[in-house]
Amino acid sequence: MAVTGRDTTMVRRFEEDGFTVVRGLFGCEETDRLCAEFAALHAAGRAVPGHFLPGPTADPLHRYPRVMQPHEISALARRFLLDARLRVILEGLLGEEVLAAQSMFYFKPPGARGQALHQDNFYLRVEPGTCVAAWVACEEIDRENGGLEVVPGTHRMDLFCPEESDAALSFAREYVAPPEGLTAVPVDMRPGDVLFFNGSLVHGSQPNRSAGRFRRSFIGHYVGRSAERIGGYYRTVSMSGERVSLPESERAGPCGTEWS
């Protein structure tokens, strides 16, 4: 799908709801290639400190852990993170130049726990403003295999103080209950669709309850060029790939504090 300029309908939806979905931004052959890249990383079975740490237990998320900052170890992941199609949309949504701050790849195999409702900027601590996520579906994603749920309208609210999640359902400790009168709604996606959402939007996912379907996805986090601070875990780069250092904000950490 070709997206050019500042799409006013897309921007209005993003500003009103805190998220928008662009269908078919990437082709299936592109997402297949990305999945094959990470399948090869998993098949190699090697730990890559700071990026990929498979564990010895039967927990599906230990056998298939998420890959953190894969753009630092994979040229293909870096191309996805800095893709010009994402840049055009992100700059339209933010109204300014954007910097890439983080990438992640989730396998989410059958039986894997989800991630309780949370806000991304609770971890990134972008100041001033917030971050924006670009969540790329790499295969058919729905409620059965643990697709994302979002709480429209929470992007206008401050960061919440999280409660403790249910460790049987969520790999991450933090949980933000939907504010009174608001409800989490599912976002079903097809390969190549991209969900863009505000860093204050409450979102999360349920466990993958399918019998044999993964829920693979690639996520990039971005900030506007006007951002002045960000958590030290996030190493910002321009969309042309040059390192752009920002001062470190406080109380930040990787997206999702995992249960030990």
CA dihedral defined by 120, 124, 125, 128, rounded to 10 degrees? Answer: -90
Is the bond into 162 cis (omega within 30 degrees of 0)?
Answer: no
Distances (CA, A) of 159 to 18, 225, 249: 14, 21, 15
Asked whether residue 1 carries a pLDDT value surpassing 60, the answer given is: no
Residues 130 and 234 sit within 8 Å (Cβ to Cβ)? no
Q: What angle do CA 165, 171, 174 make, to 5 degrees?
A: 35
Q: Are 192 and 20 in contact (CB under 8 A)?
A: no
Q: Is the pLDDT of residue 12 over 60?
A: yes
Look at residue 5 and tell me whether its pLDDT is greater than 60.
no
Q: How confident is the model at residue 260 (pLDDT cuts 50, 70, 90)?
A: confident
Span 166-193, average pLDDT = 97
Q: What is the pLDDT of residue 259?
A: 86
| pLDDT tens per residue across span 181-202 | 999 999 999 999 999 999 999 9
Confidence (pLDDT) at 191: 98
Question: What pTM was computed for the model?
Answer: 0.96
Mean pLDDT score, 14-18 = 97
Token pair, residue 251, equals: 């109380």
**Residue 4 predicted with pLDDT over 60:** no
Looking at residue 107, its pLDDT comes to 98
- Residue 166 corresponds to which tokens in the numbers above? 């249910």
Residue 2 has pLDDT above 80, yes or no: no
Per the CB < 8 A criterion, the answer to whether 28 and 192 are in contact is yes
Query: What domains can you pick out in the chain, each with its CATH number?
Result: 8-238 (2.60.120.620)
Q: How far is CA 102 from the centre of its chain?
A: 9
DSSP designation for 171: S
Q: Which of 204, 251, 260, 258 is nearest to 231 (CA)?
A: 251
The model's pLDDT over 83-116, given as tens digits with 9 standing for 90+, comes to 999 999 999 999 999 999 999 999 999 999 999 9
* Average pLDDT over the chain, rounded to an integer: 96
* pLDDT tens per residue, range 39-88: 999 999 999 999 999 998 899 999 999 999 999 999 999 999 999 999 99
Q: What is the pLDDT of residue 7?
A: 80
Decide if pLDDT at 37 tops 80.
yes
Residue scoring higher pLDDT (151 or 4):
151
Q: Which residues, 6+ apart, have CB-to-CB distance to 208 below 8 Å?
A: 60, 108, 109, 110, 111, 112, 114, 144, 145, 146, 214, 215
Bridging pattern class, strands 67-68 and 98-106: antiparallel
Rounded to 5°, angle at Cα 95 from 93 and 100: 70
Residue 134: name the closest of 1, 10, 20 by CA. 20
